[in-house]
Structures are given as structure tokens and as C-alpha cells.
Amino acid sequence: MLNNFFNKHAEQSLVQEHLSGFRNEFTKQQKVAILLSLFAIANSDGNFHLSEQEFLKQISSLLGFNLEDNLIDVILPLDNSELINLLNSLSESQKDWYIVTVMGMIYADGEALDSEFECLNLFFPSMGITLERAEKVLKKSILIMNNFK
């Protein structure tokens, strides 16, 4: 979906320029932590669906992170406490983006399962993200998206 937008956009270079600024706001380790947490949420039910794989690829592309480049070498040294610390190191606006992105992953396969929300609850509280904040960010995101219809 995101890739189709970028391929069809008449001002693609402007979009890429804008995204490079967004991408550069994250460290490589933060990107790995985001992608690993999204994978953990998607795989929490024991199935990593094709739609979830595609969503993960889209987010990695958005972040300018190539999933093929030695991902195992990057992920293996990352333990749970380091993962949480890296996610917690995101700025407040990055955390808002993360909230929306995580919800996109949860609904990527068309089913929001309890196991996915349980996994999400391992990350959000450790990042200082409350249920109220998540709801506020999601409502704002929905309003913005409705304006683009």
C-alpha cells in the first residue's frame, strides 16, 4: 500500500526527501527495536501471516532499513531489557507514530487477537504510554485519515 503510493506519486523525489528526514530521526538500533517489537506482536499468536510480513516490509522501507542486511547479526545481541530501553528512548512524537504503527500491525491480518494486545502491553507501559494516550493518538490519527478520503 505505502509502496504503491510512492511509486505512483508524481512528486516522488519530494516524498523521498521528506521521508529521509523522518528516517534519520531514528538510530539504527531504534529501528531494529521497532521492527523486532512489531515482529513479536505479529508472531505472538504463533502465526506470522503474509499480510503481517508485508506490513513489516513496508515499515522497514519507511524507516530506510533493509531487512535483508544481516538482520540476524543485528537482532541476536538485543535482549529484552535493551529492546525496552531502545523503545523508551524514542521521542514523544516518535512514540505517537509507534502507537499508530503497532495498531496497524495488530490489524494487518484482519484480526486483533488477545495475544497481540498482551504482547503490546509488554511494550507500552515500559515506554510510558498509557491507554489514554494511545486512545488519544489513535483518535487523532483517524480524524487525520478521514480528511484524506
Question: 17-65 pLDDT, tens per residue?
Answer: 544 567 889 998 999 899 999 989 998 988 888 999 899 989 998 898 8
Q: Check residue 106 and give its pLDDT.
A: 93
**Whole-number Å distance between alpha carbons of 133 and 15:** 29
15, pLDDT greater than 50: no
What's the average model confidence in pLDDT over 91-119? 93
For residue range 106-118, what is the model confidence (pLDDT) as tens digits? 999 888 999 999 9
Query: pTM for the whole thing?
Result: 0.81
Given its phi and psi angles, is residue 121 left (phi above 0), alpha (psi -120 to 50 degrees) or beta?
alpha
Angle between helices 28-42 and 80-88 (to 10 degrees): 110
